[in-house]
Structure 1
Amino acid sequence: MNYWLLKTEPEDYSFADLKQAGMDVWDGVRNRQAQKNIRAMSPGDQAFIYHTGNEKAIVGVAEIVSIPFSDPTDDQFHAVNVRAQHALPRPVTLKEIKEAPQFEKWALVRQPRLSVMPVSAKHWQQVIELSKE
């Protein structure tokens, strides 16, 4: 199993929207590196949902439930189906992540504009623990 982080503008589509839908298509990603990450996803992988904009925080967990397929908004790109799992006990902010030395090499800190990125198993667990504090 792999771990991922998926960024979204909460004003456009929030974790609450995904939770209400239950399952939805994660589409509209156009960045080539983010697309490479989507193509590497497999059913059963886990993903953090990160709210951009004013929030800048990891707010929930979702599961990848499909293999990558042609993005319905543009078949030159790929998308996946995701299913909401649960909100984190509390959001973990980008500020907290940037202040923690263990995250300094994570793409969330180094490549802030990348909308789909891998998360190491170690970072995954560290974020989960931070959300419980």
Structure 2
Amino acid sequence: MNFWLVKSEPDAYGWYHFTEQGRAIWDGVRNYQARNNLRAMQLGDQVLFYHSVINPAVVGLASVVKEAYQDPTVPDDPRWVVVELEPVMAFDLPVTLSQIKSEPLLANLSLIRQSRLSVMPVRPDEFELILKMGQKRMLDDRMSE
């Protein structure tokens, strides 16, 4: 299994839109490196869903449910592909970009090194750490419920 991170602006297509839709065609990628990452995704791969621009943070987890195929928004251009994703779970706490940047174990994360890339691989150790950070509820949060 491989791990990935996809970025989306929450006003254009955020976690809420994704979960309401229930399944999404991840289209519109027009960067060759990001496209190559889409092509490398395999059925069952786990994907971190990242809100960019406004309150940047990893907000949820998705899964690849259909591997790369021709992007239907540009049927005459074979260079571009899409994958299909389904939401798995929302994070208890968003993992903010500032938290990611302050964590030494995430210093080599592509999100930091190639901030404009919209689809990127994540190493298993990075994935596990971000997942743990997103699922950890602080004592103060529990007391306020």
The one-letter code of the counterpart of 1:129 is K
Q: Tell me whether 1:99 sits opposite 2:102 in the alignment.
A: yes
1:1-133 maps to which residues of 2 (within 5 A)? Answer: 1-75=1-75, 76-131=79-134, 132-133=136-137
8 A contact 2:9–2:54 mirrored in 1: no
Q: State the number of aligned residues.
A: 133
TM-score by length of 1: 0.97
Alpha-carbon deviations, 1:38-83, whole Å to 9, x = none?
Answer: 0000110010000001211000001100110001112430000100
The one-letter code of the counterpart of 2:97 is L
The one-letter code of the counterpart of 1:32 is Y
Q: Distance in 1 between matches of 2:131 and 2:42?
A: 21
The one-letter code of the counterpart of 2:48 is F
| Paired position in structure 1 for 2:141 | none
Report sequence identity in percent: 41
TM-score by length of 2: 0.89
Moved >3 Å (runs of 4+): none
* Bigger radius of gyration: 2
Q: Distance in 1 between matches of 2:37 and 2:22?
A: 23
